[in-house]
Structure 1
Amino acid sequence: MELPPRPELFDFHGVSMITYFTDNWENVQNFQARPDDIVIATYPKAGTTWVSHMLDLLYFGKSSPERGSTMPISERVPFLEFTAPGQPSGQRDATISNGSVEAADKMPSSPRLIKTHLPVQFVPKSFWEQNCRIIYVARNAKDNVVSFFHFDRMNMGQPEPGDWPSFLQRFQEGKMVFGSWYDHVKGWWEKKQTNPKILYLMYEDLAEDRGRELDRVCSFLGLSLTEEERCKVIEGVGFDAMKKNSMTNYSTDKYMDFKISPFMRKGKVGDWKSHFTVSQNEQFDKEYQKKMTHTTLRFRTEI
């Protein structure tokens, strides 16, 4: 199959986007949430698949253990705003990376697990009206930009990344799909201050101690696990286990070229050090200080 050309970025209500995420906008905005829906929200490449798989195992690992080895994560946790290129959103090719509004709508499971990369101001209002629980995952900017760079190199459904220095510059300017990392993480952080239904997780904390963060997630969702169930989930969401699992590693997605880079690359905290030059790091830190002055949000760039 011949893939369409890579999409171009454009400004969408003040946020850089591509048509794959805006073509079905009216249906996305009119999405009817249910009170027991659980949303996994992140900036791209911040641990979305990790937490999606964790929640799927928590809710369905016992009742439908085959799900995790027979259903791609994109079917278990549809991607709300995604629309396949060149196709009406209702007639999507099932092998294309993720579900969309219609897929989420038709999900028979309860709760429905739904993922989104939308900045907080774009979230469909029914999620707030229904008081849905939302788990937001944030990753430090330096590792996030490195991961995004490698993702854009191998994903033909993303804009052309260019070389590393120009990509880093664009990241700083917020000219990325789903906009500025700074606006994204801060917008959700502010929302969390007044909304107890948002759990804000850090990628670095997950990497440091999966068990501890799993306990936080369970407490937030009101779930209790036996020791055996807990161990199973911790094992199932290990980076190596997920990287080997074709139902979580996106190897079935024809838009992703694994010859360039795997979808799940390293999953480490601090890999940015092998990409940033000394002067890039200094310049980045200077910008970072400016943009993160008026927030209580703090990140770790190593653990």
Structure 2
Amino acid sequence: MTDKLTDFQGVNVINGFKWPPLVHDDTPDNIHNFEVREDDIFVLSYPKSGTHWTLEIVGNIVCEGNKDKVNENYRSNPPGPIEFSDNYKKLNSFLTEKPRVMMTHARVDVLPKQIFEGKGKVVFMIRNPKDNLVSYWNFLKEYQYLEEYEEWDSCFEASLKADMLYGNWFDFNLPYYENHRNKKNFLFLTYEEMKIDHKGCVIRICDFLSRPLSEEQVDKVVENTTFSNMKASNLVSFFQEKEDIGKRKYTLFRKGIVGDWKTRFTVAQNGRFDAIYNHRMEGGTALAKRIIFEI
């Protein structure tokens, strides 16, 4: 009988922190010292927070809603987070006349330090932690990193600990939001805000990036980045082809709804999570005012 553990990829533990296996031992330091250009745009989030959706919106804004330009300018970008493999090295060779649009799940002490000096711009996406966890679990069980992430109950338990892959939701998001939400080169949006007012959030991103678009162009960006259009587009096949690691392919766009956590959380788990959430977000935490669990 085959040992089940041989099916799992494992993780890379660097300085006590769990990263996916594609992150090399020297990558966190190299990312922190990454040379940032003034026109760089980083899409930053905890995994499964609407990262690819936001990345697609930003790419469409830069290309004024022109699909052909998006394909030409950004489908050649290294897919996946800049911390994967040697993506950050490849990005150094990109032409200077085109703004680099990059995604990352780097925690606050790993993010390029020049960003905190005001270089580049960061579009930071946050998703309510319950939906985020359900989406993350579906991702993790497909990628098969660790056995403890395979079943919902064990993944739920793991998500509450500091040594979760990429850390837990609170440890990742709170330091960013509490310390950098008023920085001029950071824009914080929530997944739920984008679901409620897709066009309004597109305009907010345009304003933040100082890239004004006409009404027609804004509408085109919105149309190109609806959930149904992205799921049907070549974006899905592109990322699945490029991120086929060890012959495992994951679902880039699954449901894209708010409130899916109700299909997975038990009453006991929900009560336990609420208690932890209330404790971690107490004391007038500004982020708590923006988190909603259903619309």
- State the one-letter code of the partner of 1:81: E
Is 1:239 equivalent to 2:242 in the alignment? no
| Contact 1:71–1:247 (CA under 8 A) maintained in structure 2 | no
Deviates more, 1:266-275 or 1:21-30: 21-30
- State the one-letter code of the partner of 2:173: V
Write the distance in 1 (CA, Å) between the matches of 2:163 and 2:120. Answer: 30
State which of 155, 167, 178 in structure 2 corresponds to 1:167: 155
- State the one-letter code of the partner of 2:282: T
Pairwise CA distance, 1:35: 1.0
| Contact 1:29–1:124 (CA under 8 A) maintained in structure 2 | yes
Q: Extract unaligned runs of 5+ from structure 2.
A: 1-5
Distance 1:151 1:301, change over 3 A: same
- Using the size of structure 2 for normalisation, the TM-score is 0.86
State which of 250, 256, 268 in structure 2 corresponds to 1:279: 268
Distance 1:262 1:105, change over 3 A: same
1:242-299 Cα distance to aligned partner (Å, 9 max, x none): 11112246332323745xx622100100000001111111111111112222422121
Deviates more, 1:127-136 or 1:213-222: 127-136
- State the one-letter code of the partner of 1:152: L
Q: Extract unaligned runs of 5+ from structure 1.
A: 84-88, 90-99
Pairwise CA distance, 1:205: 0.4
Pairwise CA distance, 1:76: 6.5
Note the aligned Cα RMSD (angstroms).
2.4
Distance 1:24 1:11, change over 3 A: closer
Pairwise CA distance, 1:74: 7.3
Number of corresponding residues: 281
Superposed, 1:1-303 pairs within 5 Å as: 6-9=8-11, 11-13=13-15, 15-25=17-27, 26-61=29-64, 65-69=67-71, 73=75, 75=77, 79-83=81-85, 89=86, 100-108=87-95, 110-156=98-144, 158-160=145-147, 161-248=149-236, 250-252=239-241, 253-255=243-245, 257=248, 262-294=251-283, 295-298=285-288, 299-303=291-295
| Contact 1:28–1:124 (CA under 8 A) maintained in structure 2 | yes
- State the one-letter code of the partner of 1:112: R
Distance 1:37 1:81, change over 3 A: same
| Contact 1:73–1:248 (CA under 8 A) maintained in structure 2 | no
Write the distance in 2 (CA, Å) between the matches of 1:282 and 1:176. Answer: 20
Pairwise CA distance, 1:60: 2.1
| Contact 2:39–2:120 (CA under 8 A) maintained in structure 1 | yes
- Using the size of structure 1 for normalisation, the TM-score is 0.84
